[in-house]
Structure 1
């Protein structure tokens, strides 16, 4: 009788070709027939929904190739989580099997963005937080603990192999890993070791931002400082039960922070991107009060259908609607989608702050005073408007000694683990960057208005 051949390393696995990571492996055959797999999650309505949500909200109107979606990013984050899992596993080998460890981190990364609404972070800032007091991470936790719970808790293998007998992913563990912000998110009592893994999902470098910095730069056609993922992985390890980076890896770590900082200033906070954001701000709140009248946490089917694609196709029909309100909104969306230049930048100032303290607003331009002054000089006629836009980002941790997402640094010279070396390295990077801009709409003499605004603000 012919013996059965040993399992091949790619049995039960499939590949996705990706422009950033090359090939992404995923599980398509379970260890036990009938159980779901990573493919089941990938093909689930909640993950497939991310194909209809663009990664970049308004920047895609400025960078024509930036048409990539949260779906591709989530696959990339899953891939990064798997790489970290295999590299870090020796530090956790007494806790669980490698396949289980890898599977848990990969599933969390795959699902971390399922709670995004249309226009991503803009939806968070203008709709989800003001109306429902909820971030997209919190919404992801609701989806993970609700419609996706049964599927993910029956997964029984990862690319590295089958889980050990008795091992089972808990949706609560996955929800903990993806949680961020000020909402209560305690370390699960039944798996306290997860606390050591939290920096991979809400730290200075994460499986999330290691993918999106590379992906967004590639898709936008922007050259950044090189991000050496292999070197970051090499120097990341588990020390005294906590995630740490080796002292010799601080250089590549700083390089990544600078690359991410560049992405914010040149893409996410690009002046034209922000002008589109201003136009979007006048439309999206009222539009979503119509398309999303109830809390999505209690109306998940409606939220499932709500994507960028759904919103944009819906508003395209509004200019011919019977309702005057819908016609007005439809005309606004028509101008936005037609890339009409509604807002023009007339002032810009870049500010950097070394202090970990949030900067005060005492030097922020007084818009009312400026408007009255421009009007008195005939530069701001009736119907014209100027608007302040402050784009800000914490470029490094406010306090490297605090926070669940911060890293320890291992110093081989002293044999100690701490955050002093990290703090000293971060001293050379501004804590916060702000780009203060003033945009104008309906101003007939823009050069004169620009000169007058600059003169007054210099005074």
Structure 2
């Protein structure tokens, strides 16, 4: 009787998500009957008959309990485990069901069978053919890594982080489903990246579709598509086998793409996947509060390794010092106060990566060329989507069957397409062919390293210096000031934004801290209290770059340079006049108000 009581007490703490499983309703006789039906050895059946275990207690069984309380041999324990696995109530997968990947950044990574089921789909394997840094490997030969290995790394770090919180603060009630959902979200967060990553979602799609679009939306759509396509959430699917529910699926999507638009009306808690008591879970994979998350940790470490740049941030140290604390009624991840300097190292490293690699002048030239090639080829290339429908490149974002086939290899498809595939084009064949040929010529120039040339880069500017001017507006101003014949196709303007990931804000100040002697008291730590040397006072700068298409036309290059210098000088003069005029008007209003207020 004591043994049964012990098992029942443990079972009461079992995962509530398993209510759907029939074994929970079995009584003692039903358990014995099921053992017999599955040809379990007589000695095991006899042991269960003596102890009399109910179905709801099966979840709590492990080898230790089977050996000490039911006095089973190791071979008999394996027999019971296999039975429990078959009915879906074995608490954790064995090491044999996992796989271990050797990663150059994190060492040996062990992945859950649920994650392996996702990895083995064509939708995830597609990430092998999407470069993490686009065409940056044309500048840095080592930057040839892909979104595939980055996603494995984020999955690993997400699991590592949540397990550390679970071990350090068991009172939080973090369960196995929380851990698995975080790992799934980390694994799938980049499923929606298109060819050449941010060139596709930040430059190509907005210009073709004339609206903003984020790859996170496609990540959510692709995740939904692959789960449905491969039956992962069916009754016999592997997601169900490991206890994942519809709420968990909602949770994973929210971790990747944020709350649904229809649910944003609740300003306090817009999420459906988890209660606000677990708000901190939403800060691990994609942290909207302060941008300190495992996605950033992996790409900083991985990109530095591949680029040959030193990484000064230690993410494992941050993980060990992280604590969940109630901050004005919301559970947030906080960190020890002395670790703030470590975080400034992280954002400084991120700035350095953007400055010398991601936004390298040659890399930006390549981005512009890929963008222009995709725009010109969009109407003429067709990708096969759902039900055999032929879609333009830009239309694939609405059809995940087509999006599965859209990778960096699109450049080779454009090169190999000699005739437009647009059957609805009403223009003359010559006009249509000329546009496709222009796209092919740009791509051929990339492979011949006949690249657009950066002829000017401004000094670092504050956002107020440009007053919200965009690239096209600056381009039009330069054309107005040109004294020789220069067309729109002769030059491109690129505005490079360099910041700490939150535009002009300081993300570190959005993270609360705790002290050694008050580990459960969150405190806001201003940057002045951290360091007057290490903490910067400006968190965004902009660079204006001018690129020319024909690097050998010295006449046009000289004319464009002179036009930009003349425009920028006049623009700054007018800006200064406007500021002085505003200051004068402001001072006059203040004097007038002072006179009115005098008795």
Give the helix-richer structure, 1 or 2.
2
Unaligned runs of 5+ in 2: 1-71, 82-92, 265-269, 383-390, 421-428, 571-599
Mapped contact 1:41–1:152 kept (Cα < 8 A): no
Q: Which residue of the partner structure matches residue 102 of structure 1?
A: 179
Q: Which residue of the partner structure matches residue 449 of structure 2?
A: 339
2:108 is aligned with 1:23 = yes
Structure 1 residues 128, 345: CA separation in 2 closer, same or farther (over 3 Å shift)?
closer
Q: What is the Cα deviation at residue 40 of structure 1? A: 0.8
Separation of aligned partners in 2, 1:336 and 1:329: 11
Mapped contact 2:313–2:345 kept (Cα < 8 A): yes
2:142 is aligned with 1:65 = yes
Separation of aligned partners in 2, 1:128 and 1:313: 20
Q: Which residue of the partner structure matches residue 134 of structure 1?
A: 213
Separation of aligned partners in 2, 1:145 and 1:246: 38
Of 280, 293, 305 in structure 2, the residue corresponding to residue 218 of structure 1 is: 305
Mapped contact 2:162–2:179 kept (Cα < 8 A): yes
Q: What is the Cα deviation at residue 394 of structure 1? A: 3.2
Q: What is the Cα deviation at residue 3 of structure 1? A: 2.8
Deviates more, 1:139-148 or 1:53-62: 139-148
2:176 is aligned with 1:80 = no
Q: What is the Cα deviation at residue 70 of structure 1? A: 0.7
Q: What is the Cα deviation at residue 409 of structure 1? A: 2.0
Structure 1 residues 362, 143: CA separation in 2 closer, same or farther (over 3 Å shift)?
closer
SS of 1:39 mapped into structure 2? helix
Q: What is the Cα deviation at residue 301 of structure 1? A: 1.1
Q: What is the Cα deviation at residue 233 of structure 1? A: 1.2
Mapped contact 2:166–2:173 kept (Cα < 8 A): no
2:282 is aligned with 1:198 = yes
Structure 1 residues 88, 430: CA separation in 2 closer, same or farther (over 3 Å shift)?
same
Q: What is the Cα deviation at residue 128 of structure 1? A: 3.6
Deviations 1:346-405 (A, max 9, x none): 11124254x8x896246999444544544x2x5x667972322101143154456999xx
Q: What is the Cα deviation at residue 14 of structure 1? A: 1.8
Structure 1 residues 305, 200: CA separation in 2 closer, same or farther (over 3 Å shift)?
same
Of 375, 399, 411 in structure 2, the residue corresponding to residue 299 of structure 1 is: 399
Q: What is the Cα deviation at residue 137 of structure 1? A: 0.3
Mapped contact 1:52–1:307 kept (Cα < 8 A): yes
Q: Which residue of the partner structure matches residue 258 of structure 1?
A: 348
Deviates more, 1:446-455 or 1:200-209: 446-455
- Greater Rg over alpha carbons, structure: 2
SS of 1:147 mapped into structure 2? helix
SS of 1:308 mapped into structure 2? coil
Structure 1 residues 287, 455: CA separation in 2 closer, same or farther (over 3 Å shift)?
closer
How many equivalent pairs are there?
Answer: 436
Matches for 1:279-318 after TM superposition, within 5 Å: 279-289=369-379, 290-291=381-382, 292-293=391-392, 295-296=395-396, 298-309=398-409, 311-318=410-417
Separation of aligned partners in 2, 1:140 and 1:384: 34
Structure 1 residues 396, 52: CA separation in 2 closer, same or farther (over 3 Å shift)?
closer
Separation of aligned partners in 2, 1:386 and 1:168: 51
Separation of aligned partners in 2, 1:182 and 1:367: 37
Q: Which residue of the partner structure matches residue 74 of structure 2?
A: 3
Structure 1 residues 453, 94: CA separation in 2 closer, same or farther (over 3 Å shift)?
same
Deviations 1:91-127 (A, max 9, x none): 7645655533321111000000111111111111234
Q: What is the Cα deviation at residue 317 of structure 1? A: 1.0
Mapped contact 1:86–1:98 kept (Cα < 8 A): no
Q: Which residue of the partner structure matches residue 330 of structure 1?
A: 440
Separation of aligned partners in 1, 2:232 and 2:169: 25
Unaligned runs of 5+ in 1: 29-36
Mapped contact 2:460–2:543 kept (Cα < 8 A): yes
Deviates more, 1:82-91 or 1:442-451: 442-451
Separation of aligned partners in 2, 1:346 and 1:59: 20
Mapped contact 1:152–1:169 kept (Cα < 8 A): no
Separation of aligned partners in 1, 2:505 and 2:489: 43
Separation of aligned partners in 1, 2:146 and 2:365: 22
Q: TM-score, normalising length from structure 2?
A: 0.64
Mapped contact 1:409–1:421 kept (Cα < 8 A): no
Mapped contact 2:344–2:535 kept (Cα < 8 A): no
Separation of aligned partners in 2, 1:447 and 1:422: 44
Q: What is the Cα deviation at residue 410 of structure 1? A: 2.0
Mapped contact 2:355–2:498 kept (Cα < 8 A): no
Separation of aligned partners in 1, 2:411 and 2:549: 24
Mapped contact 2:481–2:563 kept (Cα < 8 A): no
Separation of aligned partners in 1, 2:560 and 2:496: 20
Q: What is the Cα deviation at residue 58 of structure 1? A: 2.5
Deviations 1:1-50 (A, max 9, x none): 8533789973322211111111111134xxxxxxxx22111111211111
RMSD of aligned residue pairs (Cα, Å): 3.7
Q: Which has the higher contact order (CA 8 A, sep 6+)?
A: 1
Structure 1 residues 152, 214: CA separation in 2 closer, same or farther (over 3 Å shift)?
farther
